């Protein structure tokens, strides 16, 4: 039997937990469904979010300063989307600087012909297109490459998704300029060396260090994740980039 003091602590903690849950519901975070529907197969990464559910109908920020980062981000995002979207889901991709190569999406189980690409010349057009698209109910995701976004702009986008429940991704190509925003999470995906069995040649499945730098009402974290062609595998939590001894090529 616990001392009385601890008992009291426990009930207080329960009350606080319950209140917190209520607040989350009011903020639009739904509790996990019993049958695991809506799960991304990301295990402990999803656990970092309130209620343990990857927030859809919200804006995610991804920091990708270099083309390498962007490529890694694209892979991770496409994998996530393939779990989010049912068959036939449509995504809108707003092109600003880099060119995505559509066939690569099929490696992450997303049919490339379900992506609509919009080429824009100016930042303000990209924002306008993004806001309009986020208002379109039923789109799986809207992805835009932006240099920077102000708090007011992010608030507008947030208002758009609150009604339509579309998921938005902002790819920041200049993280120095990433400011405070209403976005639900801020991610960074960095490539990791692929792991292959000793003695085998070639490049293996992609591996990334997925960092959740900021998450509203959740716990930030860092994970090594690999994609095996059909789903994600979480390799280590909080792992650092391991420098493997250099091997001779070929």
Partner 1 sequence: MQKRFVSIWFRHLLADWFTLRRPELKTVPFIIVEPSGGRILVVAANYLAEKQGITAGMAAADAKAIVPSLKVIDHLPGQNAKLLKALGEWCIRYTPLVAIDLPDGLILDVSGCPHLWGGERAYLGNIIRVLRSKGYDARGAMADTAGAAWAVARFAKKDPIVEPGKQTEALLTLPPAALRLDDIVIERLTKLGFYSIQGFMGIGRSVLRRRFGPELLLRLNQALGMEDEHLELLEPVIPYHERLPCLEPIRTVTGIEIAIRQLLELLCHRLQKDGMGLRTAILKCYRVDGQVLQVSIGTGLPSHYTNHLFKLFELKIPTIEPGLGIELFTLDAPKVEEVEPGQEALWGGNECSLEDNRLAELLDKLSNKIGAAAIKRYLPQEHHWPERSIKIATSLTEKPTTVWRTAQPRPSLILPRPEPIEVMVKTPDYPPKFFIYKGQKHNVIKSDGPERIEHEWWIEEGEHRDYYYVEDNQGQRYWLFRLGHYDNDKNRQWFLHGFFA
Give the footprint of partner 1 on this chain (CB under 8 A). Answer: 67-68, 70-72, 74-76, 78, 85-86, 88-90, 98-104, 106-108, 111-120, 125, 128-129, 132-133, 135-140, 165, 190-194, 196, 201-204, 206-208, 227, 241, 243-244, 246-247, 249-250
Work out how close the CB of 175 gets to partner 1 at its nearest, in angstroms, rounded to a whole number.
17
Q: Distances from the Cα of 95 to the Cαs of 26, 68, 74, 89, in angstroms?
A: 34, 17, 13, 19
Length of the chain, in residues? 250
Kindly report the number of other CB atoms within 10 A of residue 63's CB atom: 22
Under the phi-then-psi rule, with left for phi > 0, alpha for psi from -120 to 50, and beta for the rest, what region is 229? left
Q: For partner 1, give the closer residue by CB, 130 or 183.
A: 130
Q: For partner 1, give the closer residue by CB, 51 or 98.
A: 98
The kind and range of the H/E element at 171 are: strand 167-172
Q: For partner 1, give the closer residue by CB, 24 or 78.
A: 78
Distance CA 43, CA 190 (A): 19
Work out how close the CB of 219 gets to partner 1 at its nearest, in angstroms, rounded to a whole number.
26
Work out how close the CB of 247 gets to partner 1 at its nearest, in angstroms, rounded to a whole number.
6
Copy the structure tokens of residue 227.
Answer: 């994609």
Q: For partner 1, give the closer residue by CB, 13 or 106.
A: 106
């Amino acid at each position: 039997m616990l001392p009385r003091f601890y008992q009291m602590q426990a009930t207080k903690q329960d009350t606080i937990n319950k209140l917190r849950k209520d607040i989350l519901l009011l903020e639009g975070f739904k509790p996990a469904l019993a049958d695991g529907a809506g799960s991304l197969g990301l295990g402990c990464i999803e656990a970092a979010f309130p209620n343990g559910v990857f927030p859809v109908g919200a804006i995610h920020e991804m920091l990708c300063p270099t083309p390498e980062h962007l490529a890694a981000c694209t892979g991770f995002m496409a994998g996530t989307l393939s779990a989010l979207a049912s068959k036939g889901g449509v995504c809108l991709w707003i092109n600003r600087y880099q060119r995505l190569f559509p066939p690569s999406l099929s490696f992450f189980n997303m049919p490339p012909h379900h992506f609509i690409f919009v080429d824009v010349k100016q930042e303000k057009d990209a924002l306008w297109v993004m806001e309009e698209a986020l208002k379109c109910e039923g789109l799986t995701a809207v992805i835009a490459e932006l240099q920077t976004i102000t708090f007011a702009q992010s608030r507008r986008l947030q208002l758009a998704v609150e009604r339509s429940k579309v998921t938005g991704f902002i790819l920041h190509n200049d993280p120095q300029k990433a400011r405070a925003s209403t976005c639900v999470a801020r991610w960074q995906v960095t490539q990791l060396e692929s792991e292959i069995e000793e003695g085998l040649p070639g490049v293996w499945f992609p591996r990334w260090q997925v960092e959740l730098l900021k998450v509203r009402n959740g716990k930030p974290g860092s994970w090594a994740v690999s994609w095996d062609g059909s789903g994600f595998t979480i390799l280590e939590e909080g792992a650092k980039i391991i420098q493997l001894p250099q091997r001779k090529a070929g």
